[in-house]
Structure 1
Amino acid sequence: MTIRFNPDDKSAQHHNAHHCLEITVNCSPNIDHCIIRSTCTVGSAVCVSGQGACPTIKHCNISDCENVGLYITDHAQGIYEDNEISNNALAGIWVKNHGNPIIRRNHIHHGRDVGVFTFDHGMGYFENCNIHRNRIAGFEVKAYANPTVVRCEIHHGQTGGIYVHEKGRGQFIENKIYANNFAGVWITSNSDPTIRGNAIFNGNQGGVYIFGDGRGLIESNDIYGNALAGIQIRTNSCPIVRHNKIHDGQHGGIYVHEKGQGVIEENEVYSNTLAGVWVTTGSTPVLRKNRIHSGKQVGVYFYDNGHGVLEDNDIYNHMYSGVQIRTGSNPKIRRNKIWGGQNGGILVYNSGNTAEPWRKVYNQPFQ
């Protein structure tokens, strides 16, 4: 079956209905193998709204619409499986105002806006979706939205993969996030998502980018092969970064700058082209119990007033020194094991300093 909404006045000035298919309070139809099209420039092709609205929509094609593809709002729920959602003028899917759908195995691609947009307390469970080649982010979270996104592929976005901003939250677990033009994950403006167990790789910029007072838990991810830093923390952002593997990047492993903060602990950072960790421009992270090794330059590099704490780390086998401190930097360095650097263990120069006595630094060959 094909369902079409083609109003003569596409702007909706002369009609009240803004949706091709509308499902409202306490309605729970089964909709299967339908083609749904709308040329109206407002509203959505499919709108599910209100308490008790709980349809099952499967194997449908919601594409080529001049508005949002699927819109779920006002406490609506429902099951949405195996749908094709593509080439819509606005988001492929909107979830808003405590909407809480289950969305599985949907193919959401080539949108002229974002792939999935959750905002204004929108929720939802997204599993095994393929989200790619959308003009803006693959998945956007804003304004207290809190979706759960599990085992999806989010890739080849024309900007970023996942964008969490303006106090967004969300759990992103065991996804593959790759080959996006900007960062695989962006976190900003007091947002606090959980990014756990994902593979974040081969991005045209960085892996995870946390800026503008971003927060978040970045845990147990495999981050590799990105063109810029695997994780970048800047402008008063303060995430928890732990148990990640950050490796084989074309730039540095972790880059903390412009008053970046955060707790960075028990990560393995290795085989990156530039420094394993850079700390600069007034930044004060805590780096604890990390293994930072086998880099092509410095292990940990403090410069231009980079500060913070470096304690209980293993730093070894770098092409340059294990640690460099320069140009007004003054970190606290204690109880580290630093060995195998081809240019020495700790190099302090150009007005660098360290607040800790040298006798507290392990800085000799380690067997």
Structure 2
Amino acid sequence: MTMEISGLPLELWRLILAYLPLPDLGRCCVVCRAWYELIISLDNTRWRQLCLGCSECKHPNWPNHPDVKPHSWREAFRQHHLTSKIWTRNAQDLESSNCLYLFRRKKDRKTIFVGPTSEHVNLRSALAVANVYDKIIILPGVYEEQNEVTLKVPVEIIGRGKLGDVALLVSFDQHCPTARLCNLVLMPAWFTPVVYKIIMIRNEISQCKASGIFLRLAAGGLIADNNIHSNSEAGIDIRKGANPLILCNQIHSGHRSGIVVLGNGKGIIRSNRIYGNKEAGIYILYNGNPVVSGNHIYQGLAAGVAVNENGRGQILENIIRENHWGGADIRRGGDPVLRKNLICYGYSDGVVVGERGKGLIEGNTIYGNKGCGVWVMSSSLPHIANNQISRNNIYGVAVFCCKDDVSDYLNNQGGDENFSDEGEIISWENDFDSDEERYTSHKPITVALIEFNNINHNGAAGLYIKSSETLNIIANAVHANHDNGIAIYQSSQFTHITNNSITCNSVGGVLVETGCKVELRGNGIYDNSSHGVTSKGEGTVLENDILGNHGYGLQLLENADMKVTKNRIQSLHDYGIAILDQAKGAVQENQIFRGKVGKTILEKTENPEKCTVQSNEILSCSKNSCRSGIAWKLDNPPARPLVEGSNRATSMVQTRQRVASMTTRIAARVEGGCHDNGSIFCSIL
């Protein structure tokens, strides 16, 4: 007998069919296309009832989102039914396989009970008599094993009652290819640390009320090619010695940080796309120490990478761009290695080293940020070396003595996240990693050090110093910035400026304001648009070449107190040295070259008795050499540091080429993802 659907309204058919058992629903599905679609339309009624009415079937989104319905109740029930069928099928033969679907079960499958009033009082006793595919039911209680328990054959171990009623303090040694554990709380045994190895590949992990993936207790394994997004806490949370490989994932749109590494958490975080998170793309703190390489970290609403509260880590060859806070933000004991990254187009500073920040910042290209290239607080001790710092909107490198707004910073980097559960902070302070390489990746320094950087074409001064502590500025190329090359507005301790090339800046070469202490030694200060050196402070100017500048070579103003010795000084259009106002000190044993207008040195001063000018050598040039613009040859000693070919066009092209090359190289690693044409493990190696 056949029935026509058109004979009754669909709502009435759905009401009738809601009483059918599962086998009859299956038969109706194969009658015709119309009946199939009618059965499918029962998803929110009969299929939901069957799914939730099964005693062994949890809500599909349990335990994180039991209030969120699945995409299809029918599909959720079907998947559970197929899996359960494997464990309820009886057969004479047994075929060993790593695939759950291929297991067969003997006909004498039995149920074994474990509990205080049962035949077996512990799990070990039950496993000793279990055969293949037997079911072990554990009654409510806490069961602790004193030694490791071996799983020799596939069995089901099921807790009775609600989740949490049965807790196992057990360390398993699994020899069988598979086993089924259901409705149990597993806790580490007292006698051994638990090490979990997980593999998660090509999953979508989203909308969790906590972190998307949470790794702790020395957990390891592989998390690859997943889409992890829109979670309430971190996309991935790594802590308490966990050491996973995080590879080729998309981690985005989170309500907190993309990845958090803390509490001696480690791991390799490589070739991921981390973007659009409301807090830091990667947040490292409390002795977290990962290796972060080849990632694309962009468009976050806070820092790209934040290292705080004694976090460490190696941040290598990443593209960090268009983040709203610093591309990299280091403070409060953070001590990472930040090497060979492209940090560009941020809405704030490229790199921020805040209060008590440390670390090695080496070989990075810091380009086109709307704030400073590198912003440093004077209470910090960074080592900033071999970086290309160019075309940032404000200063290339700025050192300030001001206090962090710590509460504001922490609110935007996950400061109120539950980082201190179970007394973890206390254990972190004492549980240091034994991997020596991770902790000695760079030598600590006692004075902030800025050396061997190329600082060019920035929107304000190349280096802006407003510091209350000693600072060493050594062997940098400071070129074509849109204000002074180096401007020192505050330095109660000495700022040492040694062996730098300071050229073609839009204002002066070096400016030293009132009350500042400075030592200028061995620098080449050439072709700046105003004065070579202007000082209102105190200190020494020793063995520098100050040549070709468009204002004075050296200008001492107000209450300057400088010792100017053994320099080679010349100005194109003005005096070599000008001593004005109440300036005092000593100007002696210098070579002063006549400029094109024939001026040499201005000796007029209001208190000549306090300023000694003696033993200086004044040199003239021939008319022919002056006309040609090649007035002097510096050969004894050779010219102090001068970047060859240092003109604006050349430097700008080189910077752009470096940015393009680094972007292409790193992006190829990130966008390539995991390979589909071979083993993922081969692609890792």
Q: Indicate whether 1:354 and 2:539 are aligned.
A: yes
Equivalent residues in 2 for 1:222-237 (5 A)? 222-237=365-380
The 1:203–1:145 alpha-carbon spacing in structure 2 relative to 1, beyond 3 Å, is same
Partner in structure 2 of residue 334 of structure 1 = 521
Q: Note if contact 1:86-1:111 (Cα within 8 Å) is conserved in structure 2.
A: yes
Whether the 8 Å contact between 2:64 and 2:209 is mirrored in structure 1 is no
CA distance in 2, matches of 1:216, 1:285: 15
1:116 Cα offset (Å): 0.2
CA shift at 1:5, angstroms?
1.4
Q: TM-score, normalised by structure 2?
A: 0.47
Deviations 1:257-284 (A, max 9, x none): 2189511110100000100001114242
Match in the other structure for 1:263: 449
In the other structure, the counterpart of 1:277 is: 463
Change (3 A) 1:76 1:341: same
Change (3 A) 1:162 1:16: farther
| Distance change (3 Å), C-alpha of 1:52 and 1:281 | closer
SS in 2 for 1:333: strand
| 2:203 aligned partner | 60
1:1-367 equivalence runs, <5 A: 4-6=61-63, 16=164, 51-258=194-401, 262-305=448-491, 307-349=494-536, 352-356=537-541, 357-364=563-570
SS of the residue 2:565 aligns to: helix
Q: Quote the offset at 1:355 in angstroms.
A: 3.0
Residue 353 of structure 2: SS of its match in structure 1?
strand
Q: Which is worse superposed, 166-175 or 297-306?
A: 297-306
Once the two structures are overlaid, the 10-residue window that deviates more, 258-267 or 228-237, is 258-267
- Superimposed CA distance per residue, residues 252-311 of structure 1 (whole angstroms, 9 cap, x where no aligned partner): 000012189511110100000100001114242100011001111100001133641000
Deviations 1:168-204 (A, max 9, x none): 0000000000100111111111111000000001111
Name the residue aligned to 2:419.
none
Aligned partner of residue 358 in structure 2, secondary structure: coil
**1:344 Cα shift?**
1.6
Considering fraction of residues, name the structure with more strand: 1
Q: 1:78 to 1:3 in 2, by over 3 A?
A: farther
Asked if 2 retains the 8 angstrom alpha-carbon contact of 1:110 and 1:134, the reply is yes
Q: 1:27 to 1:121 in 2, by over 3 A?
A: farther
RMSD (Å), alpha carbons? 2.5
Distance 1:293 1:363 in 2: 19
- Tell me by how many angstroms 1:316 deviates: 0.5
Decide whether aligned partners of structure 1 residues 197 and 273 sit closer, same or farther in structure 2, where only a CA change above 3 A counts: same
Aligned-pair identity (%): 28
Instruction: Report the CA distance between 1:353 and its aligned residue.
Output: 2.4
What stretches of structure 1 move > 6 A for 4+ residues in a row?
7-10, 24-28
Q: Bigger radius of gyration, 1 or 2?
A: 2
Letter in 1 for 2:194: Q
Which amino acid letter does the alignment assign opposite residue 276 of structure 1? Answer: G
Structure having the higher helix fraction is 2
Deviation string 1:110-163 (CA, Å, 9 cap, x unpaired) is: 001110000000000011000011011000001001000010011111111111
**Contact 1:26/1:53 (CA < 8 Å) preserved in 2?**
no
Partners in 2 of 1:314 and 1:25 — Cα distance? 65
Report the TM-score, using the length of structure 1 for normalisation.
0.86
Q: Which amino acid aligns with 2:258?
A: G
Structure 2 unpaired stretches of 5+: 1-58, 68-161, 166-170, 178-192, 404-446, 542-562, 572-638, 643-685
Which secondary structure does the structure 2 equivalent of 1:80 belong to? strand
Q: What whole-Å deviation, never above 9, does each CA across 1:206-236 have from its counterpart, x for those lacking one?
A: 0110011110000000001111111111041
Q: Which runs of 5+ in 1 are unaligned?
A: 18-23, 31-49
Question: Secondary structure of the residue that 2:280 maps to in structure 1?
Answer: coil
Aligned length: 336
Superposed CA deviations along residues 88-122 of structure 1, whole A, max 9, x for unmatched, are 00100000011000010000000011100000000
| Secondary structure at 1:78 match in 2 | strand
Cα distance, 1:348 vs. partner? 1.5
Distance 1:363 1:152, change over 3 A: farther
Contact in 1 for aligned 2:518/2:538 (Cα 8 Å): yes
Does the 8 A contact of 1:68 with 1:91 survive in 2?
yes
Amino acid aligned to 2:477: R
